[in-house]
Amino acid sequence: MKKARKIAAAGLGVYAGLVALEHGIFEYVQGRAATPGLVIQAIGPPCEPGAVWHAYFPALTLLPTFQAAGMATVLLSAALVLTSVFWSGRKAGPWVMISLSLLLFLAGGGFVPPFQGLLAGWVGTRQGRDLSWWKSQPSWMIDFLTRLWPWALILFWVWFPGSWIFGHLFGPTSLKWSPLFFLVFDLLLPVGIALSALGTDARG
């Protein structure tokens, strides 16, 4: 049975939900203070967004207070994690993941987690689909993608605690290289996970 797509969808979805959950907790503890506008920092004052690698978790929210944004984000994040674990392999599950990711973006779940959640949902919708297009691609490309699996997903999960540890121990270096880390670990690596799962299942 070809399971790479199911594992990738669940792995990406749970990761996105947990990172969004961090946003929600930090927002909630700021209490009933009014949000200053559409774009907020989930981690409250005193903070200078350009002083740390995570920029104090920027996010977008349509909700009027940090407490409301945090509560909504926590609930949606928990729902995304549960859906990713238990229903990502079912027909409607990936579409629920996509819907929850869009709601997270509007509630205060940050910018990166919703992107990763959408990617997880998209991979989930590819389950049970014909992979003939992938099979028709050059063999070197499929070979490259299959070699990435499952190491790309493992590296992705290692980075979850690793980013905080590295940022704590090597703050200035982490801040200096944060644009590269963002590009590699937040954007390119999740896409690589999705493609490697499809390539692996195509190779069968």
pLDDT in tens, 5-45: 999 999 999 999 999 999 999 999 999 999 999 999 999 87
The model's pLDDT over 112-141, given as tens digits with 9 standing for 90+, comes to 999 999 999 999 999 988 888 877 888 898
Tell me, what DSSP letter sits at residue 64?
S
**Residue range 163-204, pLDDT digits in tens:** 989 888 988 898 899 999 999 999 999 999 999 999 999 887
Residue type, 148: L
Partners of residue 34 on adjacent β-strands: 65
Tell me the residue range of the domain where 145 lies.
Answer: 4-203
- Spacing of C-alpha 107 from chain mean position: 15
Domain count, the chain: 1
Please name the helix (run of DSSP H) or strand (run of DSSP E) that holds residue 144, with its range, or none. helix 139-148
**What confidence tens digit (pLDDT) does each residue in 46-63 have?**
777 677 877 788 999 999
Amino acid at 190: P
